[in-house]
C-alpha cells in the first residue's frame, strides 16, 4: 500500500473525528494542522455537558429549516467552531494553520477561521452557503476540495504522488486560491 500524502493522511483522521459527531443531519469532523502537526480536533454536537441531539431530536428538522440557513436555531456547535474553541481553551495559536474538514465551512465558521488567521481549508463535501464561499475567497484563503476520483490540480501535493491505492478510492484535489483586497 503506498504511503498517503499529507492531505490524505489528515483527511483520513478528519473523517474518523466526524464519527464522534452527535448531529442528526450530518456528521462533521474538523482538525487544525500546522507544520504537519495536529493542533486541535472538533466535531459537531451539543455543547459540553448538554443533552445530545441524538437524545432530544433535531430542532431544525422540527421547524423545517433548510441546510445553510438560520444557524442560530441549532443546539449544536459546529466541528470547525469546536476545533477553534479547543485551541483557545489550551492557548494554542492556529494562525497560519490549515483546516481539514469533512464539509465546507458555513459563513459563521468561515468568519471565525478568517479572524483566527487560518490560511488553507481542505474539505470533502460542499455546503449550501454562497456567502461563505464568497468571503473565504475574498480573504485569500486557499481552498482545496478533495473528491474521490476527481481531477487533480496541477502541482498539488496529490498530483505529485501519481500513484494509486486499490484499498480505497483515489483522492484527488482541486485548488482555488482567493485574493486579498
Catalytic amino acids? 80
Beta bridge partners of 98: 33, 120
C-alpha cell at 99: 483546516
The distance of Cα 25 from the centroid of its chain, to the nearest Å, equals 16
Residue 2 DSSP code: P
Distance CA 44, CA 27 (A): 7
Distance CA 111, CA 164 (A): 36
Three-class secondary structure of residue 165 per DSSP: coil
> At how many degrees (to 10) do helices 79-90 and 107-116 cross?
30
Amino acid at each position: 500500500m503506498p504511503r498517503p500524502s499529507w492531505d490524505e493522511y489528515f483527511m483520513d483522521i478528519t473523517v474518523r473525528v466526524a464519527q464522534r459527531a452527535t448531529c442528526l443531519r450530518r456528521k462533521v469532523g474538523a482538525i487544525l494542522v500546522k507544520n504537519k502537526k495536529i493542533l486541535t480536533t472538533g466535531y459537531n454536537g451539543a455543547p459540553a455537558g448538554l443533552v445530545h441531539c441524538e437524545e432530544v431530536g433535531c430542532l431544525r428538522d422540527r421547524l423545517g429549516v433548510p441546510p445553510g440557513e438560520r444557524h442560530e436555531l441549532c443546539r449544536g456547535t459546529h466541528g470547525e467552531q469546536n476545533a477553534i474553541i479547543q485551541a483557545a481553551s489550551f492557548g494554542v495559536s492556529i494562525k497560519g494553520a490549515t483546516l481539514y474538514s469533512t464539509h465546507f465551512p458555513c459563513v459563521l465558521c468561515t468568519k471565525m477561521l478568517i479572524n483566527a488567521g487560518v490560511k488553507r481549508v481542505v474539505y470533502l463535501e460542499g455546503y449550501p452557503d454562497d456567502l461563505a464561499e464568497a468571503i473565504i475567497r475574498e480573504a485569500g484563503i486557499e481552498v482545496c476540495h478533495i473528491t474521490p476520483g476527481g481531477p487533480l490540480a496541477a502541482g498539488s501535493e496529490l498530483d505529485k504522488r501519481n500513484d494509486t491505492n486499490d484499498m480505497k478510492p483515489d483522492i484527488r484535489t482541486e485548488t482555488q486560491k482567493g485574493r486579498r483586497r
